[in-house]
Chains A and B, each alone.
Chain A
Amino acid sequence: MSDLVQWSGNLLYASFIMYLVATFFFGGAIRPKKNGEKQEENRWGKLGITVAIIGFISQLGYFFTRWAASGHAPVSNLFEFITFFSMMLVGAFIIIYFMYRLPVLGVFALPVALVIIAYASMFPRDISPLIPALQSQWLHIHVTTVAAGEGILAISFIAGLVYLIKTIDQSKRNKQTFWLEMIMYSLVAVIGFVAVTTTFTLSGYEAQFEYVNKDGNVAKETFTIPAIVGPNESKLLTDGKFEPIVDMPAFINAKKLNTTLWSLAAGAVLYGLLRLLTRKRMGALVQPLVKNVNTDLMDEVSYRSILIGFPVFTLGGLIFAMIWAQIAWTRFWGWDPKEVWALITWLFYAAFLHLRLSKGWHGEKSAWLAVIGFVIIMFNLVAVNLVIAGLHSYA
């Protein structure tokens, strides 16, 4: 039994390596050609997609072996769901790749998938048993369809990002360059989160606090990274550990906020170092990668991904969700924060489609919208789970 779990972990690890290797192959595929010929799929591109597919199959292997080990589809906690989302993102990338054969998408999509897998693996990885509400076939149907839809929508973000990197003028400083840097910084901050969590986990840092919780009762909480902010009226119980600089009010989860602050700070340090070393904005740094990109085509890929992903998301995130909610919670809709954010995501993409079809929002505007859509998806995936607790809260 635990052999299977071991295998499953190894397969996930293997897929991580494959995606990394594939990224470099795709990088090779987009090198500018001397004779200035049109960019098309070359040997590097073929290698890249082959390795990416092997990685994807390996990740499928992870998924099914873990399923076999636990008896339920591994989409029931944060680690499993985010990992599954990364798999869907790669799957969507592979489909779109065969439609348009654009290696440059791989150069951006695969690193994003890598960051997401790394992020996921910071959460408890043990196989958890299902509480009664989750014991349903609809768990698998609903969650996998949502993740598939979001994976496809994420490709529109990737294409939009490529579009922006290519078209934004890096010779001057303006709103566009600022927000593009914000996106870059956010990605770096996730890496910061991984770095901080790993460092303190390895060093075994633990500090216990006693505090007064929302209901006015005394409770205990163990911080695994030094507390910059502490819980409400906190008292450090472990000797020789870092005292928080300030305490948070009771309704804020100080532990999670603290982790977020650390990640943002570590991200800022990493980002600052990059800027210092290269003396360039990150947008400018990666701009050469997209030199040969056809922007019209990128625009279309971005739109197309939304057209493909929107119905899938609707089916999984709203329709299947409602069917399941009716069965498990007696009502198909209950304004739970997670439900509301699924609705917001859906409304946002509906607005996008209308703006594009009827108001002619193409090109840059459309690319920014694709980016914002992804931010909303990530917000629902991360913040709503961690910050706004509701019925869906995994943590």
Chain B
Amino acid sequence: MGKVKCECGHVNPHGTILCESCGRALTEEAQREKLHDMRYEGSARRSQTYNKTIIDKVWNFFSSVKVGIWLIVLTLIASSIGTIFPQKLFIPNNVSPETYYEDTYGVAGKIYYTLGFYDLYNSIWFIGLIAAIGVSLVICSLDRVIPLYRALKNQRVARHSSFMKKQRLFTSKEGTLQSGELDKVKEKLKSKRYHIREEEGSLLAEKGRFSRWGPYINHIGLIIFLIGAMLRSTEGMYTDAMLWIREGETLEIPGTQGEYYLKNEKFTIENYDEKKDPEVFKEALKRTGGVVKNYQTDAVLYRDENRDLPGAKPKLVKVKDAEIRVNEPLKFDKFALYQDSYSKDEMKAMEFALADKATQKEAGRVKIDLFNPKDTYDLGKGYKVEIIGYYPDYDGIGSDGEPKTKSPLPNNPAFLFKMISPEHPKGEISFTAIRQTLEPVGKTDYKMEFRGIETRNISALTVRKDLTLWILGLGGAIFMIGVIQGAYWNHRRLWIREINGEIYVAAHTNKNWHGLKREINSVIEGTSVPIPEDQQG
């Protein structure tokens, strides 16, 4: 493509508006401007130069800040719609979303559900919006950063008079620059940390140029963050599993490929206590009732040493003891175990007495492990109890006359017992459930009397491995560096030049003109150099 050669001799890339070197306007449009648009230093941007092929059009679309702003605003509006009613994630998990929204929120709820807003943040179009922001970030940054870099690097100290005249802060005055006066200005500029370059009667004082890279750096940070967020859906980068573990149990930790095991020694819930805890909490505790102080699983972490031997039994070696609390996960290897939830007082064992109905005499007791009941319990002296049916989650009698169980969990255990006694060596049949006894094959002399129950707590731990976290952290850190760089520093420039017996003074900043004016006034005041004036407004 044709390069543009400026009168000053500098060769500019095709599409350049203001000469990178001297600042002369190279296009007619720029020559007509009252004030130069200095946003990208009048450099040649691809998006402003080509618009022929499809690629050009796509490029131009995504490099437009207007489009970028629209994408941000659309994402913003979409996000807010998602908070009108709770997302699918937050509704009770025993109801179906299909009916929940309509039942709870009426017509509005039905519309919300039908339009898919109930799972908005996972919808294709929402993810598409975020992806479009990502694409836009990449393209708009590429479109600007290289030209801007060139322009700022190539700029000459002596700028053309037309360039200076079209700066927002500008003045000119007849006279010549006294070197003593100029030295005073330079001294002050230096004390304000300006870098000063001089050529033949021209001066350029500049500071904070690095702040111009702030937006590009923060956009890079955002892109890295988005890439990190995308990577979590790749195999192996991210594990999200739950481990429900009962007190006393030792289980393989899911997601660790059998390498690690965890034993739950004890799960505790502790409430604040008006008496024991600091007195200042008293009022609040009275007002709100019980407040939980701690959820804690005391656990032991084991590693299976035999993992690499196929077919061998696990050989568990203790790695460490741990107390897992909310906000204090157990970390090992690349995993973390979080205290997430719990279930209190799950039934573990039940105790019954075999008793003579008439005399109330106990022949003996059986304690049944609800997870692993035995077939026969021998009480001696001719007394025996056999379990011929076990229904851990009893749910009534089915149409076939058989008792039914809802699940294998002992939520509502029921038993079909055969009670053997010296009087009835063939046994009597009794069906015993909680608060209910049936005698399905005739009256019995003996019965199974409920004596007690043992319970234990279940702790629910989230198992998490997230290898993307460092990428997200890196992206976040780079973003912060970029925004701070762009927001807390400004790029300020002051040009002073003598042209044909006139002193030209011009100044530019990318933001905070008021601050620039104050600074320049304090630098120039009291010298023969004229103070530039605001030509805008």
Which residues from chain A sit less than 8 Å from chain B, CB to CB?
Answer: 1-2, 5, 69-71, 124, 126-129, 131-133, 135-136, 138, 214, 249-251, 296-297, 300, 303-304, 307-308, 310-311, 314-315, 318-319, 322, 326-328, 330-332, 334-337, 340-341, 343-344, 347-348, 350-351, 354-355, 357-359, 384, 388, 390
A-B contact sample (14 more), CB < 8 A, given A129-B272, A311-B480: A1-B278, A70-B280, A297-B514, A300-B512, A307-B511, A310-B483, A311-B484, A315-B480, A331-B464, A340-B79, A340-B82, A341-B80, A344-B76, A348-B76
User: A296: shortest Cβ distance to chain B, in Å?
Assistant: 7
B90 touches A390 (CB 8 A): yes
A334 touches B89 (CB 8 A): yes
Contact of B338 among A126, A330, A359, A384 (CB under 8 A): A330
**B87 contacts the other chain (CB 8 A):** yes
B80 touches A344 (CB 8 A): yes
> What are 8 sample pairs from A and B whose C-beta atoms fall under 8 A apart?
A70-B280, A131-B291, A136-B327, A308-B488, A347-B76, A358-B65, A359-B65, A359-B69
B79 touches A129 (CB 8 A): no
B462 touches A135 (CB 8 A): no
Interface string of B498-537 (1 = CB under 8 A from A): 0000000000000111110000000000000000000001
User: What is the chain A residue whose CB lies nearest that of B338?
Assistant: A330
User: What is the chain A residue whose CB lies nearest that of B122?
Assistant: A335
Most buried by A among B287, B326, B480: B326
**B230 contacts the other chain (CB 8 A):** no
User: What is the chain B residue whose CB lies nearest that of A334?
Assistant: B89
Contact of B464 among A304, A330, A336, A388 (CB under 8 A): A330
**B469 contacts the other chain (CB 8 A):** yes
Question: Which are the 9 A-B pairs with shortest beta-carbon distances?
Answer: A126-B283, A132-B326, A358-B65, A128-B284, A307-B487, A337-B83, A347-B76, A330-B338, A126-B284
| Interface majority SS (helix, strand, loop, mixed), chain A | helix
Interface string of B335-354 (1 = CB under 8 A from A): 01011100000000000000
Q: How far is the CA of A314 from the CA of B221 in the complex (A)?
A: 13
Contact of A314 among B291, B483, B513, B537 (CB under 8 A): B483
User: What is the chain B residue whose CB lies nearest that of A70?
Assistant: B280
A327 touches B329 (CB 8 A): yes
User: A392: shortest Cβ distance to chain B, in Å?
Assistant: 12
Which residues from chain B sit less than 8 Å from chain A, CB to CB?
Answer: 39, 65-66, 68-69, 72-73, 75-76, 79-80, 82-83, 86-87, 89-90, 104-106, 121, 240, 272, 277-281, 283-285, 287-288, 291-295, 325-327, 329, 336, 338-340, 462, 464, 469, 472, 476, 479-480, 483-484, 487-488, 511-515, 537
* Residues of the B chain whose Cβ atoms lie less than 8 Å from the Cβ of A71: 278
Q: How far is the CA of A384 from the CA of B83 in the complex (A)?
A: 9
* Residues of the A chain whose Cβ atoms lie less than 8 Å from the Cβ of B86: 390
* Residues of the B chain whose Cβ atoms lie less than 8 Å from the Cβ of A300: 512-515
Q: Contacts A296-B514, A307-B511: A347 and B72 contacting too (C-beta < 8 A)?
A: yes
User: A360: shortest Cβ distance to chain B, in Å?
Assistant: 9
A347 touches B325 (CB 8 A): no
B284 touches A326 (CB 8 A): no
Contact of A335 among B69, B89, B281, B479 (CB under 8 A): B89
Q: How far is the CA of A70 from the CA of B285 in the complex (A)?
A: 13
B327 touches A351 (CB 8 A): no
Q: How far is the CA of A300 from the CA of B469 in the complex (A)?
A: 38
Q: How far is the CA of A129 from the CA of B476 in the complex (A)?
A: 32
* Residues of the B chain whose Cβ atoms lie less than 8 Å from the Cβ of A131: 291-293
Contact of A307 among B65, B280, B488 (CB under 8 A): B488
User: A96: shortest Cβ distance to chain B, in Å?
Assistant: 13
* Residues of the A chain whose Cβ atoms lie less than 8 Å from the Cβ of B479: 314
Q: How far is the CA of A326 from the CA of B73 in the complex (A)?
A: 27
A310 touches B487 (CB 8 A): yes
* Residues of the B chain whose Cβ atoms lie less than 8 Å from the Cβ of A250: 104
* Residues of the A chain whose Cβ atoms lie less than 8 Å from the Cβ of B336: 330
* Residues of the A chain whose Cβ atoms lie less than 8 Å from the Cβ of B65: 354, 358-359
A328 touches B326 (CB 8 A): yes
User: B464: shortest Cβ distance to chain A, in Å?
Assistant: 6
B288 touches A128 (CB 8 A): yes
B76 touches A314 (CB 8 A): no
B281 touches A128 (CB 8 A): yes
* Residues of the B chain whose Cβ atoms lie less than 8 Å from the Cβ of A318: 476
User: B484: shortest Cβ distance to chain A, in Å?
Assistant: 5
Q: How far is the CA of A307 from the CA of B515 in the complex (A)?
A: 14
